[in-house]
Amino acid sequence: MANQIYDVVIAGGGPGGLSAALALGRARKRVLLCDAGPRRNAAAQHIHNFVTRDGTSPDELRQIGRAQLATYPNVEARDVGVESIAGRSGAFHVGLPSETVEARRVVLCTGMIDEMLPIDGFRERWGHAIFQCPYCHGWEARDRRWGYLAREPDARMFLQFALQLRGWTAEVVVFTSSAFDVALEAREQLRAAGIRLETAPIARLAGREHRLEAVELANGTAVPCDVLFAHPPQRQVDLVRALGVELDDDGYVRIDPMKRETSVAGVYAAGDLTTRMQGAIVAAAAGAQTAAMLNHELTAELATSGALPISDPQPNRDQASYWNEQAGPRWVAMQRDLDAQLEPFGVAAAGKLGIVSGHRVLDVGCGAGATSVMLAERARPGQVVGIDISGPLLARARQRAEATENLRFEQADAQTFAFSGASYDAVFSRFGVMFFADPIAAFSNLRTALRPGGRLGFVCWRALCDNPSFVLPLAAALPHLPEAPQPPEPGVPGPFAFADEDRVRGILDRAGYVDIEVVPHDTELVLAGGGDLEAAVDLAMQIGPLARAASGLAEATRARVRAAVRDAFLPHHKPSGVTLPAATWIVTARRAS
């Protein structure tokens, strides 16, 4: 059993399923769309009467639909069939070929199976010269020789259908194969409309390859015909029949006309399996309506049961407090050394991101503004906005950027800030994105700031154990600390939250990014940017894991810790400064076009 619980699993990826998935995805539901194929209208070359998509091929329509769904990280599409549905509303077990997933609700968009009539030549011409709907195929076959094969189930409505065909062509023949008696009044209406009636049984359909040239009757008559309309029997797919939903007298799934729910609570249906009024745009409309009704009911259930999160206007309040009251002032005091130490990492990440003149760039976690100034120089005359949660750091950033006309700063939480439109060409960060309480929400929000096709790029630390500039001073201090600090738990907001490559990829994937690359960047870090040994020790005591562990120590203890750190750094002290290996990721991704 998979641990992932979907809000909705949709069986069927045609227009109805795609439309339902889109509406539910935009309603922030977690959706799994399952599409096993092949298409019911596999022989059709084009879809018609679908505004903005008239003439589009069925395959292209699905490709466009899939591409639009990819914008929503909460919607997943798979090329698999649904094999079984068990359980109850709120706790369905949906069987797929290789696993079983859980779902709160299920939507059936499985269409119908057309059963071919036992007439010689019928199967090979289905979808090529034999059609169901004149609205879908009539224009392309206008003014040609048309036939209509009316079966016994069509007896009640055959006259109305036959009469409407005259709107496309002057030549219409109705074939009944003696399946039912045609009343005198109906015969007279057919005659008045110029429609020929043939009651003899059909022997075969004649023509070369997929083309139709004549309908040959059992009495030897050959009626010239280019296009034949017919409504063969239809049946539900095995999944629907096994589920046991109630069907109407014509074999379609019976649904509540408003809620679109079937007789099985929590199972909804949309599209051709519910109605004889079949067509791509009709199914798409039904999918949207079904999704809206389902979402209304499901959201009310989740909200009143406490399953939906209560809004927190400050999800990163702990980080805001820390960077405004403790870390921010310390970084400002040591800003020159820190910027010199971290500058090569920002340059490497910016180079990978490919920022050029004219780009509009967002610098996330911009700190004291060094990276923002660097980006503004590269992007000029493009505008750069630096965003950070720390007031002290931004005050310093504004001071140093007074002369940079294409740069401004915003004090805000990038996870919740309402960006005004998708206007940025690039979102950049140097060690500023590892602190979010909800990184998926944060990166989703940042994605809204990017224009379609815009790029994300940042540098972040790999594992603590791979970065001796953090480990070495902490290890040296341990004998003098009252208790050993606990290593950070994987994924907890902080410098090493993105140490796991797979986690980084998963976050960005779920946040809706594409073309994700996570590349190791191994280099040397010169502590304090090349300052002397004492400057490196000062930095270790003020910034990083040791700074937190040593806060509140008595002066004598701090002196012993400082001496131990100095001894640990001494073997690594070169003319250029204390130099240690550094392990980072340079991460790039793109908002889908």
Q: CA 501, 502, 508, 511: dihedral to nearest 10 degrees?
A: -150
Percentage, residues of the chain above pLDDT 70: 98
Q: Are 379 and 354 in contact (CB under 8 A)?
A: no
**Three-class DSSP category at 183:** coil
The per-residue pLDDT of the chain, averaged, comes to: 93
Mode of pairing for the β-strands spanning 5-11 and 234-235: unpaired
Asked if pLDDT for residue 542 goes beyond 80, the answer is: yes
E strand spans, 170-329: 171-175, 195-198, 202-206, 214-217, 222-224, 227-230, 234-235, 267-269
CA–CA distance, 376 with 526 (Å, rounded to integer): 25
Domains 5-113+234-305 and 317-591 in one fold: no
Asked if pLDDT for residue 32 goes beyond 90, the answer is: yes
Per residue in 46-101, pLDDT (tens digit) is 888 898 989 899 889 999 999 999 888 789 999 999 999 999 999 999 999 999 99
**DSSP conformation class of 230:** E
Percentage, residues of the chain above pLDDT 90: 85
User: CATH homologous superfamily of domain 317-591?
Assistant: Vaccinia Virus protein VP39 (3.40.50.150)
- Rg of the chain on CA atoms, in Å: 34
Domain ranges within the chain, ordered by starting residue: 5-113+234-305, 122-230, 317-591
Cα–Cα nearest to 28, from 248, 380, 303, 319: 303
**Three-class DSSP category at 340:** helix
Q: Is 141 exposed, middle or buried (0-12, 13-18, 19+ CB in 10 A)?
A: middle
Q: What count of other Cβ atoms lies within 10 Å of the Cβ of residue 273?
A: 28
**Three-class DSSP category at 201:** coil
From residue 406, alpha-carbon distances to 59, 376, 427 in Å are 46, 6, 16
Q: What is the pLDDT of residue 1?
A: 34
Per residue in 130-169, pLDDT (tens digit) is 999 999 999 999 999 999 999 999 999 999 999 999 999 9
Asked if pLDDT for residue 396 goes beyond 60, the answer is: yes
Using H for helix, E for strand and C for coil, what is the string for 402-454? CCCCCEEEEECCCCCCCCCCCCEEEEEEECCCCCCCCHHHHHHHHHHHEEEEE
Q: What is the pLDDT of residue 2?
A: 37
Structure tokens at 252: 């379609």
- Position 305 confidence tier, pLDDT thresholds 50, 70, 90: confident
Q: Which of 20-24, 267-271, 425-429, 571-575 has the lowest mean pLDDT?
A: 571-575
pTM of the model: 0.60
Asked if pLDDT for residue 397 goes beyond 90, the answer is: yes
H helices present in 207-309, as ranges: 238-243, 280-305
Per residue in 11-21, pLDDT (tens digit) is 999 999 999 99
Mode of pairing for the β-strands spanning 222-224 and 214-217: antiparallel
- Is the model more confident about 399 or about 420? 399
User: CATH homologous superfamily of domain 5-113+234-305?
Assistant: FAD/NAD(P)-binding domain (3.50.50.60)
Q: Are 275 and 269 in contact (CB under 8 A)?
A: no
Q: Are 13 and 33 in contact (CB under 8 A)?
A: yes
Please tell me the class of the 122-230 domain.
alpha beta
